[in-house]
Amino acid sequence: MINKKNKILFIVPDGVGIRNYLYSNLIAELNNNEIFILSTLPKEAFYQIDADFKYQKLTFEKESFITRLFRETATFARLCFNAKTVNNPSILKNWNYYPKGFKLKVLNKIAQIFGKIASSNYQNILRLEKIGQKNWSKKVIEQYKKQLKQLDPKSIFITHQRVASLMPICLAAKELNIPIISTIYSWDNLPKGRLAILADKYVVWSDYMKVEMKQFYPEITSENVLVTGTPQFEFYTQEDKIINRNDFANQYGLDISRKWICFSGDDVKTSPYDPEYLQDVAEAVSHIEASIRPQIIFRRCPVDFSTRYDEVLNQYKDIIVPIDPIWNVPNATQNWGVYFPKKEDILLQVNLAFHCEAVVNLGSTMAHDFAMFNKPCFYYNYDPVTDKNWSVKTIYNYQHFRSMEGLDAVGWLHSKESIQMELEKVINNEQVEGKDRKLWLQKIVLHPVDEASKNIAQLLND
């Protein structure tokens, strides 16, 4: 008798899900199952997956005004409630106070007014969310039910929880008793009110995140929050991904005789003055004695291919070597959700962390990537310009950075004048700040990191 394979349905709303899950060992761990992919991305986005799979296009249906109003009101109420719960007003910075379009501005303002009122009682937030769910069109839910019946999966895995348009699919799956497991996209997401879907179980990176889930979503039982780690860190443990230093230098036009420092760029919203930081780092490096002067490898944010760095890159051509992320970048859209990484970008990022002496950036997860090889990260801790609407003080007050409390997790660049001295320490193999970088990593990501795929596969097979 031939055993029928179980069907596992991956719902992939953006390109990061491909990198973090479908390029990882997870698919190999599920080799006794039939893999289906449902995605808004074209089928071509998945061409580098090392497995047989079947694909269907995912089309999102638009929320009604009422559905969105209740959802946004609940979101603002959550932000207010969370900010008060942990005494951290920076959480409110995660709200979009200036949406585009008259209709959205009106909706946004109503949501703020009633969300503020609702935040006085947590049960009000749950009621608002339930009303928003119930206002999804029955017709839309029936359409997704029909699609899910045809696919007939044993279980559904959603690669991140932030897309509200996935809610009617979740409601359809619940009516069909198809279990849904969703990841929490990143270590900073839970305080931000970005749990936009309804799943049966949620997988998180660490015990730290599980505690946060209980704190910010007490209605979700502990049994339904599962600590698995995250597969994106598995790549750093795979020796076959390390390229010989000479070959890496030849491939990207680097000077093999010099040490390398990675400048990791942020998106425009997070770090609007990133070019100024790059200018400061390049100027500091230019003053380091020529015999030990490092090269700066500039890796821009994968969704920021703007021209804002061009002037600095041209000015410091002898010091900065730009190595762009290897992503598919569409020309006709600014929506980051349709960008997707190619497999070669994993090799690039692993080798940057392996071969560079350190990384400098503004509050990026790259600190954890480099910690995989026990390499230091330096965070800028000064404002390069005066701007009443933006400051690093706001960035580092974000809730997820409280995970650093009691740890010497990163080096701090408190002024542009301090950059040269700190980088010279790295170049000369002297002790730098951030000796607890591994402890911070262990707090944020379940160890051993190379078992994340196995942990998630086990859940999907149960």
Question: Of 301, 205, 295, which Cα lies nearest the Cα of 258?
Answer: 295
Residue entry with tokens 């490096």: 285
Q: What is the Cα Rg of the chain in Å?
A: 23
Write the single-letter amino acid at 176: L
Per the document, the length of the chain is 462
Write the single-letter amino acid at 436: D
Tell me the C-alpha distance between 370 and 441, whole Å. 10
Residues 6+ positions from 68 with CB-CB distance below 8 Å: 107, 132, 164
Q: Mean pLDDT for the chain?
A: 95
Output the pLDDT for position 335.
59
Residues 6+ positions from 88 with CB-CB distance below 8 Å: 82, 191, 397, 399, 402
Helix 65-85 vs helix 207-216: crossing angle, to nearest 10: 110
**Average pLDDT of the residues in 128-135:** 96
Q: Which two tokens stand for residue 300?
A: 């821009």
Output the pLDDT for position 64.
94
Output the pLDDT for position 331.
60
174, 221 Cβ separation under 8 angstroms: no
Sheet holding 295-299, edge to edge: 320-322, 295-299, 260-264, 358-361, 377-380, 411-413
Tell me the C-alpha distance between 227 and 209, whole Å. 8
Query: The pTM is what?
Result: 0.94
- Residue percentage of the chain with pLDDT more than 70: 97
Beta strands in 119-231 (DSSP E): 155-158, 180-183, 201-204, 225-227
Asked: is 235-444 a CATH 3.40.50.300 domain? The reply is no
How many other C-beta atoms lie within 10 A of the C-beta of residue 389? Answer: 6
Q: With residue 360 as reference, give the H or E element that holds it.
A: strand 358-361
Output the pLDDT for position 13.
93
**Average pLDDT of the residues in 43-63:** 93
Asked: is 6-62+136-230+449-461 a CATH 3.40.50.2000 domain? The reply is yes
CA dihedral 375, 365, 440, 210 (to 10 degrees): -150
- Give the pLDDT confidence of 148-190 residue by residue, as tens digits: 999 999 999 999 999 999 999 999 999 999 999 999 999 999 9
Tell me the C-alpha distance between 343 and 104, whole Å. 38
Question: Of 297, 350, 302, 353, which Cα lies nearest the Cα of 328?
Answer: 302
Q: Which two tokens stand for residue 354?
A: 């392996």
Beta bridge partners of 322: 298
13, 159 Cβ separation under 8 angstroms: yes
Write the single-letter amino acid at 326: I
Output the pLDDT for position 171.
98
- Give the pLDDT confidence of 256-274 residue by residue, as tens digits: 999 999 999 999 999 999 9
Q: Which two tokens stand for residue 241?
A: 């991904």
Q: With residue 443 as reference, give the H or E element that holds it.
A: helix 437-444
- Give the pLDDT confidence of 446-457 residue by residue, as tens digits: 999 999 999 999
